[in-house]
């Protein structure tokens, strides 16, 4: 069980109100709110320890470096990475996935090679591969999704060939909440001699993640989706692969020696951290991980599944609603449409009630086409949400339905 009064850890819930109504924040899949503990840690860093890292010989810089490296160790332990050096700090999951596509893909793919993705990918795990496929002549293939919004592993086995070099899939879908069997997918990829890449943007914040158990070669995530600051994320990579890879960006601190026309590079993770990193972001991320760990990831997962199940059940009562959620694996993400009410209208009506949801294609246009919708409304729950938020949402949706139903409108507006 998750403890009570979590909202009071987050200053925004006492500051922000919309038209006199308290904030009901249901857009955590986009970004989560930040607890005071994280905000204070960032302030403490800038107030007391600010200096650049890995370059100063003075004490303050060495302390800043130690704090930054401690954050890396914390991230490694959080996802059970074998060693801190396997964790590269990036800006976000998008940058992490681009790093793999460019630094691994450009140098390991040739014409006719295949990269397998899935039908439920976020654009962050599609567009980088489109670019790399154009550069290399590699071919993209897709694991199919079945009617219960789950990936069909038989379709993966069918499309795998001797030319498949990488399988890159989302761990938890940001639209459907489906938890994909990434351990099994990784095993299938490895059996075929391909590497496995996991987009963990929606898993690291919500479920316990063990990259050694999954066995994947790369795992990407964002700090801002797990109570951390924006502008900090990470990429876990198997060290031997990272060692063999070319850099992604060139510049200061990623080098060993530089000559006028050539250079050679530092060891990972520094080879992939050109320029001054987001030091305060890494420190804030460590504080976020400590906050999450204090609550317990198992508790967070149970809390969100229970809330998601309750919301799915409660929202099913809303007239004309269609919910896109797998039966087998529940999470705290609920995408839906309502007959005759555009998702943007739903969002606008909810906003007037102080409820923040997202409406749109959720950066997953191919998935929208597969679902045969232009867009959906999406409520995404996190550790600070509770049943009263679900109730407020359900009541506001009933109001939205009534507003768009002339028959009922008169009663509601009375
Ligand atoms: N992968 C998945 C599965 C995501 O949900 C997102 C962001 C990303 C990658 C990219 O994360 P970023 O931190 O690099 O932007 N998803 C969403 C969303 O669902 N609504 O806003 C952003």
Atom of ligand 1 nearest to the CA of 93: 14
pLDDT recorded at residue 235 = 98
Residue 26 sits in the same domain as residue 155: no
Q: For residue 258, how far is its CA from the centre of ligand 1 (angstroms)?
A: 36
Total domains present in the chain = 2
- Which CATH number characterizes residue 399's domain? 3.90.1150.10
Handedness of CA 70, 234, 115, 369 (dihedral sign): positive
Residue 74 sits in the same domain as residue 161: yes
pLDDT recorded at residue 406 = 66
- Does residue 159 lie in a domain region? yes
β-pairing, 24-25 with 355-356?
Answer: parallel
Atom of ligand 1 nearest to the CA of 364: 19
- Does residue 1 lie in a domain region? no
Residue 175 sits in the same domain as residue 233: yes
What's the CA dihedral at 27, 31, 32, 38 to 10 degrees? -160
pLDDT recorded at residue 17 = 85
- Which CATH number characterizes residue 240's domain? 3.40.640.10
295, 363, 373, 402: which one is catalytic? 363
Phi-psi region of 24 (alpha: psi -120 to 50; beta: other; left: phi over 0): beta
Atom of ligand 1 nearest to the CA of 171: 3
- Does residue 360 lie in a domain region? yes
Q: For residue 256, how far is its CA from the centre of ligand 1 (angstroms)?
A: 34
Residue 274 sits in the same domain as residue 343: no
- Ligand 1 surroundings by CB, under 6 angstroms: 29-30, 92-94, 122, 124, 170, 174, 199, 201-202, 222, 358, 362-363
- Does residue 178 lie in a domain region? yes
- Tell me the C-alpha distance between 93 and 123, whole Å: 11
Residue 256 sits in the same domain as residue 341: no
- Does residue 282 lie in a domain region? yes
- Does residue 208 lie in a domain region? yes
CA-proximal residue: ligand 1, atom 15 (nearest) = 94
CA-proximal residue: ligand 1, atom 18 (nearest) = 30
Residue 99 sits in the same domain as residue 42: yes
Q: For residue 224, how far is its CA from the centre of ligand 1 (angstroms)?
A: 10
Q: For residue 198, how far is its CA from the centre of ligand 1 (angstroms)?
A: 13
- Tell me the C-alpha distance between 253 and 8, whole Å: 41
Q: For residue 381, how far is its CA from the centre of ligand 1 (angstroms)?
A: 15
Quote the pTM value.
0.97
Residue 110 sits in the same domain as residue 26: no
- Tell me the C-alpha distance between 5 and 53, whole Å: 37
Residue 167 belongs to domain spanning: 38-293
Mutate to test the pocket of ligand 1, among 202, 234, 360 (most ligand atoms within 8 A of CB): 202
CA-proximal residue: ligand 1, atom 11 (nearest) = 93
Domain final residue, candidates 293, 320, 347: 293
pLDDT recorded at residue 407 = 62
CA-proximal residue: ligand 1, atom 20 (nearest) = 30
- Does residue 161 lie in a domain region? yes
- Tell me the C-alpha distance between 350 and 344, whole Å: 10
Mutate to test the pocket of ligand 1, among 204, 209, 222 (most ligand atoms within 8 A of CB): 222
What does the chain come to in residues? 414
Q: For residue 348, how far is its CA from the centre of ligand 1 (angstroms)?
A: 22
Residue 211 sits in the same domain as residue 316: no
Q: How far is CA 90 from CA 187, 205, 279, 403, in A?
A: 27, 17, 11, 45
Domain final residue, candidates 293, 310, 332: 293
Residue 249 sits in the same domain as residue 276: yes
CA-proximal residue: ligand 1, atom 7 (nearest) = 30
Residue 152 sits in the same domain as residue 20: no
β-pairing, 255-258 with 263-265?
Answer: antiparallel
Q: For residue 173, how far is its CA from the centre of ligand 1 (angstroms)?
A: 10
Phi, psi angles (nearest 5°) of residue 325: -150, 130
Tens place of pLDDT for every residue, the chain, 414 residues? 888 899 999 999 999 987 789 999 999 999 999 999 999 999 999 999 999 999 888 999 999 999 999 999 999 999 999 999 999 999 999 999 999 999 999 999 999 999 999 999 999 999 999 999 999 999 999 999 999 999 999 999 999 999 999 999 999 999 999 999 999 999 999 999 999 999 999 999 999 999 999 999 999 999 999 999 999 999 999 999 999 999 999 999 999 999 999 999 999 999 999 999 999 999 999 999 999 999 999 999 999 999 999 999 999 999 999 999 999 877 999 999 999 999 999 999 999 999 999 999 999 999 999 999 999 999 999 999 999 999 999 999 999 999 987 665 545 544
- Does residue 131 lie in a domain region? yes
Atom of ligand 1 nearest to the CA of 173: 3
Residue 99 sits in the same domain as residue 246: yes
- Tell me the C-alpha distance between 239 and 234, whole Å: 14
Domain final residue, candidates 293, 310, 330: 293
Mutate to test the pocket of ligand 1, among 101, 122, 178, 224 (most ligand atoms within 8 A of CB): 122
Residue 396 sits in the same domain as residue 351: yes
Q: How far is CA 29 from CA 179, 216, 226, 248, 309, in A?
A: 14, 23, 9, 27, 17
Is 363 tagged catalytic?
yes
């Amino acid at each position: 069980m998750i403890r009570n009064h979590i909202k009071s850890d987050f200053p925004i819930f006492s500051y922000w109100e919309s038209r006199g109504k308290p904030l009901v924040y249901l857009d955590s899949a986009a970004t989560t709110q930040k607890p005071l503990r994280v905000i204070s840690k960032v302030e403490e860093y800038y107030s007391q320890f600010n200096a650049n890292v890995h370059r100063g010989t003075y004490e303050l810089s060495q302390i800043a470096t130690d704090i930054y490296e401690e954050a890396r160790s914390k991230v490694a332990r959080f996802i059970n990475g074998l060693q801190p050096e396997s964790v590269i700090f990036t800006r976000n999951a998008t940058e992490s996935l681009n790093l793999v596509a460019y630094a691994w893909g450009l140098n390991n793919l040739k014409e006719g090679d295949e990269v397998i993705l899935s039908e439920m990918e976020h654009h962050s795990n599609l567009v980088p591969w489109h670019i790399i496929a154009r550069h290399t002549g590699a071919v993209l293939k897709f694991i199919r999704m079945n009617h219960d919004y789950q990936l069909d592993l038989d379709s993966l086995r069918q499309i795998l060939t001797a030319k498949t070099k990488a399988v890159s899939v989302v761990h938890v879908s940001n639209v459907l909440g489906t938890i994909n069997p990434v351990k099994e997918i990784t095993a299938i990829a490895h059996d075929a001699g391909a590497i496995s890449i996991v987009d963990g943007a929606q898993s690291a914040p919500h479920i316990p993640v063990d990259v050694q158990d999954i066995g994947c070669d790369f795992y990407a995530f964002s700090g801002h989706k797990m109570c951390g600051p924006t502008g900090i994320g990470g990429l876990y990579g198997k060290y031997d692969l990272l060692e063999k890879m070319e850099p992604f960006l060139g510049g200061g601190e990623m080098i060993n020696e530089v000559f006028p026309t050539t250079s050679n590079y530092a060891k990972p993770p520094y080879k992939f951290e050109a320029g001054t990193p987001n030091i305060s972001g890494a420190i804030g991320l460590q504080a976020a991980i400590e906050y999450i760990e204090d609550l317990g990831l198992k508790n967070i997962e149970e809390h969100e599944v229970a809330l998601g199940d309750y919301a799915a059940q409660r929202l099913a009562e809303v007239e004309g609603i269609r919910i896109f959620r797998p039966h087998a694996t529940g999470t705290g993400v609920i995408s839906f449409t309502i007959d005759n009410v555009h998702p943007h209208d739903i969002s606008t009506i909810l906003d007037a009630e102080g409820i923040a949801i997202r409406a749109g294609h959720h950066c997953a246009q191919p998935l929208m086409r597969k679902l045969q919708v232009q867009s959906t409304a999406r409520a995404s729950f996190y550790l600070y949400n509770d049943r009263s938020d679900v109730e407020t949402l359900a009541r506001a949706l009933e109001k939205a339905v009534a507003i768009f139903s002339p028959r009922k409108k008169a009663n509601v507006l009375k």
